[in-house]
């Protein structure tokens, strides 16, 4: 069965074979743009007991949260011109806040760690194949649901595995190559506890879907993806822009009180 098209980092998303449609997650509103989207497609911020604004990559921190659907570049502009502080003050109902100057770095680092942790969990669960020859063999058998490559992977290695994947999926000529990750081989090797991890194949559709979320959020924040295509197992666009919300949108659209 043919997979959706996969592209390089400039528009990369994890892809998968069609799977049972998952129920859409609740919507939240970006505090900077007032655009609504599923909570799984936005970044959550929370405040520590002493009022420090911090990223919440897993969206599980207790208490009130604020949601962002912008790129790092846009966030840094909003941080510099004061718009972020004002939006946070409204979202957190005037609570005393400290916004760190390196918030963008903290968000990048936190969501990168969330992605690496997810990859590690899927490896330990037996859902990840490593090693060029083993991936190629598994791909040719049609058992690879998603294919990823380190950012510093060589073109010939990417091409070899992509060709094997297309053969296994009976998708020759489709241009499928897998996803170029915003992680180099050193980061992947440390996270997965293996030497020289350059490529990885995921054999389980559910695992591919679980990787899709943190990867898509990180890529979107880095400005590397518009996310207009659906992620594994979903029929709705992943992070595609919605029309601007009306000015009179409910006040609790951009917050949550349970870390959900």
Q: Domains along the chain?
A: 9-17+115-221 (3.30.1330.30)
Collapsing DSSP to helix, strand or coil, 245 comes out as coil
Q: What's the whole-model pTM score?
A: 0.76
DSSP 40: G
Where would I find the beta strands (DSSP E) of the chain?
Answer: 27-29, 36-38, 43-47, 53-55, 65-68, 128-130, 146-149, 179-180, 199-202, 255-256
118-162: pLDDT as tens digits: 999 999 999 999 999 999 999 999 999 999 999 999 999 999 999
Other C-beta atoms lying within 10 Å of the C-beta of residue 140: 17
Q: Token digits for 253?
A: 């659209």
DSSP 250: -
CB 251 within 8 A of CB 64: no
- For residue 24, what pLDDT is reported? 63
5-14: pLDDT as tens digits: 444 433 343 4
């Amino acid at each position: 069965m043919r997979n959706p098209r996969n592209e390089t980092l400039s528009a990369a998303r994890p892809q998968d074979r069609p799977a049972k449609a998952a129920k859409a997650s609740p919507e939240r509103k970006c505090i900077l743009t007032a655009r609504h989207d599923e909570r799984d497609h936005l970044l959550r911020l929370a405040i520590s007991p002493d009022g420090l604004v911090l990223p919440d990559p897993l969206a599980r921190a207790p208490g009130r949260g604020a949601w962002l659907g912008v790129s790092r570049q846009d966030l840094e502009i909003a941080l510099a011109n004061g718009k972020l502080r004002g939006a946070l003050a409204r979202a957190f109902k005037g609570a005393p806040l400290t916004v760190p100057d390196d918030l963008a770095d903290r968000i990048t680092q936190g969501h990168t760690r969330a992605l690496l942790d997810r990859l590690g969990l899927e490896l330990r669960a037996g859902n990840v194949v490593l090693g060029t020859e083993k991936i190629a063999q598994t791909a040719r058998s049609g058992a690879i649901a998603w294919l990823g490559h380190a950012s510093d992977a060589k073109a010939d290695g990417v091409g070899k595995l992509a060709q094997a994947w297309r053969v296994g999926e009976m998708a020759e000529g489709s241009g499928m190559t897998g996803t170029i990750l915003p992680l180099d081989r050193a980061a992947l090797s440390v996270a997965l506890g293996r030497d020289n991890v350059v490529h990885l194949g995921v054999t389980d559709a559910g695992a591919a879907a679980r990787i899709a979320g943190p990867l898509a959020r990180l890529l979107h924040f880095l400005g590397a993806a518009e996310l207009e295509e659906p992620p594994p197992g979903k029929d709705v666009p992943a992070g595609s822009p919605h029309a601007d919300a009306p000015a009179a949108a409910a006040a609790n659209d951009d917050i949550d009180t349970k870390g959900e």
